[in-house]
Amino acid sequence: MKSSNSCPSDVGRNPFVHELEFTVTEKIKIGLMSVTVFPVRLLFVSFFMLLAWPFAFTAAFGRSEFVIEPQSWWRRFVDLCLRVIMRAMWFCGGFHWIKVKGERAAPSEVPILTVAPHSSYFDAIPVTMTMCSIVAKLESRSVPVWGTLISYIRPVFVFRSDQNSRRKTVEEIKRRAQSGGQWPQIMIFPEGTCTNRSGLILFKAGAFIPGLPVQPVVLRYPNKLDTITWTWQGPGAFKILWLTLCQLHNPIEIEYLPVYTPSDEEKENPAVFASNIRKIMAKALNVPLLNFSFEDREIGFSKGPLQIYDYHSLLEFNQLVRSLGLRAGTTNKLLEDHARRARKLHADKLGLEGFAQFLDLPVTQALTQVHSLFDKHGDGQIDIRHYVIALSTVHQPSNSLKTLRLAFKMYESEENGEVLETELADILEIMLGLKEVELSRLFLALGRHDTGKIAYDELHHFIEQHPHFVRDYLDFKGEVSQPQSCNGHNHKKDQ
């Protein structure tokens, strides 16, 4: 599978990976701080968090999560106390000066603040400074101490177990946003997950569906050593806390950008609204726009014996099929149906019209781009089996053997269930994200070099016996970007 020239994919650095490297001097400093400053800071941070709990518990007790209530004088006093306590907590954590640029608009003028990039639990700093509501998982309410503080700011809770959770969350955001400032402002991180701040990934549409003015807010952590970032691959939560508290000072900048009022087109199309806000925020941050979404992260972190080696072409394919609405409807049953129909076509090639008929879609620019990804010889004809393999790969990137079995069903002969060496090369090229794969070493090791054919069970058994199968038995032509294993923790920080 090739990349489309008409739709370049600016993926760049994987935004879900954070690697830390320390100089000898930094290691010595961290060692000294670990036995001197760190314990003291941790003690004070814990103290202030515990001190905040009774204030938050008292103010949140008996208060409705769905009904607007006037802010009584004693609740305003509690609110002030909590802001002071939380500011003291961050100060003890090394965030001595918090630089704020621009001016935050009033809730009556702007009900929603969109904040990016989202890269750490330290992004809670602007939340505690403003006491804005946030969108949070329902499970966070049960976290000791911190859950009470979250409940105090009256968040929009996401019920993960509810199939209609996304719709209900959007409806609640819209209801609060249209209250004319009677509800607190809602601070939303539209990326929906934590990244490494190398760029802005695609925004979710939830903050933009109400079609009301929003105020973009950008965060910067201009420290030389990035101990702040907490994303899908990299240091875990406690290590980030430890390293950050071992820094003499942790600078942070919060900038409120001008209020953005959507046009009629943006009100009708939240995706356009989100895209335009993302461009404004990326320009303010001086970072690129990355064609990643939260849903793309699994492609970059595929596991198993046939993990993806170069995710760029598959990522572009995933983005295109998602724009066509094909990813949301992809199921194992659909893949089996596609594979059965593709087998009937055998090696018959499909032009653009035939491809559109196969998918029961009209010919559009996005469909043309998908078709061109599999136009191996540039003659406007594709092997539909290649499309099915790619779709299965992005649907279940860490279940590569299941995709391999699906591919064999489309290619294997009816007599002995074997596929040709050239056909297996086509299958692996797509699954691994590579351009050319040479299998002579593999077939020699299997004693199949004279037949040039192999059955699934035989290959499956060989792969299970050789965990470094790809490295040891496949040859690649050209540059190959090696896969990165997940050496951190899979933190569920999506919102």
Per-residue DSSP letters for 5-30?
Answer: SSS-----S-TTB------HHHHHHH
**86 contacts 128 by C-beta, under 8 angstroms:** yes
Kindly state whether residues 301 and 262 are assigned to the same domain: no
pLDDT score at 182: 84
Q: What percent of the chain has pLDDT over 90?
A: 59
| Cα distance between residue 229 and residue 249, in whole Å | 16
- Rounded CA-CA distance 303/433 in Å is 14
Model confidence at 383, pLDDT cuts 50, 70, 90, reads very high
Residue 70's pLDDT band (boundaries 50, 70, 90)? low
Question: Are 95 and 47 spatial neighbours (Cβ–Cβ below 8 Å)?
Answer: no
401 belongs to a structural domain: yes
Cβ atoms of 232 and 194 within 8 Å: the answer is yes
Tell me what pLDDT residue 140 has: 82
Indicate whether 6 pLDDT > 70.
no
Q: Closest Cα to residue 12, out of 282, 312, 303, 431?
A: 312
CA distance linking residue 38 with residue 31, whole number of Å: 10
Is 218 domain-assigned?
yes
Closest CA to 207 of 192, 220, 193, 194: 192
Q: Out of 275, 291, 307, pick the residue that ends a domain.
A: 291
Residue 486 pLDDT: 34
Q: Tell me if residue 38 falls in helix, strand or coil.
A: helix
Domain contains 53: yes
**Statement to judge: residues 59 and 195 lie in one domain:** yes
How does residue 260 score in pLDDT terms, banded at 50, 70 and 90?
very high
Looking at 241, 272, 291, which one is the last position of a domain?
A: 291
Q: Do 183 and 327 share a domain, yes or no?
A: no
Residue 163 within any structural domain of the chain: yes
In sequence order, the β-bridge partners of residue 454 are 419
Say whether pLDDT at 364 is over 90: yes
Give the confidence band of 3 by pLDDT, cuts at 50, 70, 90. low
Residue 181 is predicted with a pLDDT of 80
pLDDT at residue 335 in the model = 95
Cβ(278)–Cβ(372) below 8 Å: no
Same domain for 331 and 207 = no
481 is a domain residue: no
The crossing angle, in degrees rounded to 10, of helices 365-373 and 352-359 is: 110
Do residues 260 and 337 both lie within one domain?
Answer: no
Same domain assignment for residues 358 and 428: yes
Buried b (16+ CB within 10 A) or exposed e, 277-304: bbeebbebbebebbbbbbbbbbbbbbeb
Find the domain containing 423 and state its range: 297-476
Same domain, 189 and 279: yes
My answer on whether 241 and 319 are in the same domain is no
Rg, the chain, Cα only: 26
Q: CB of 274 within 8 A of CB of 207?
A: yes
Mean pLDDT value across residues 107-124: 95
281 and 414 belong to one structural domain: no
Question: DSSP letter at 215?
Answer: E
Across the range 52-58, mean pLDDT stands at 92
* pLDDT for residue 336: 95
* Local confidence band at 229 (pLDDT 50, 70, 90 cut-offs): very high
The predicted structure's pLDDT at residue 4: 58
- In the prediction, which pLDDT does 352 show? 95
Domain count, the chain: 2
Which residue type is seen at 481?
A: S
Residue 194 and residue 337 share a domain: no
Query: Which pLDDT does position 94 carry in this prediction?
Result: 96
d(CA 365, CA 461): 42
pLDDT at 490 over 60: no
Containing H/E element for 147?
A: helix 146-152
Does residue 444 have a pLDDT over 60? yes
Residue 449 lies in a domain: yes
Quickly state the pLDDT bin for 88 (edges 50, 70, 90): very high
Please identify, among 225, 260, 291, the residue that sits at the C-terminal boundary of a domain.
291
Residue 27 pLDDT > 70: yes
Domain presence at residue 16:
no
Q: What is the DSSP letter of 61?
A: T
**More confidently predicted of 144 and 358:** 358
What is the CB-side half-sphere exposure of residue 60 using CA atoms within 13 A? Answer: 19
Mean pLDDT along residues 34-54? 96
Q: How far is CA 179 from CA 59, 65, 107, 142, 262, in A?
A: 22, 14, 10, 28, 18
Confidence of residue 9 (pLDDT cuts 50, 70, 90): very low
Rounded CA-CA distance 369/387 in Å is: 12
pLDDT of residue 478: 52
* Residue owning tokens 């086509």: 426
**What does the DSSP 8-state code read for residue 235?**
S
Indicate if 255 and 344 belong to the same structural domain: no
Please report, as a single letter, which amino acid is at residue 298. Answer: E
**Is 317 found in the same domain as 281?**
no
pLDDT confidence bin for 160, thresholds 50/70/90? low
Would the pLDDT of 66 be above 80?
A: no
Residue 492: pLDDT over 50: no
| Cis peptide bond N-terminal to 144, omega within 30 | no
Residues 6+ apart with CB under 8 A from 15: 195, 196, 198, 199, 201, 231, 290, 292
What pLDDT score was predicted for residue 447?
85
Establish if 482 belongs to a structural domain: no
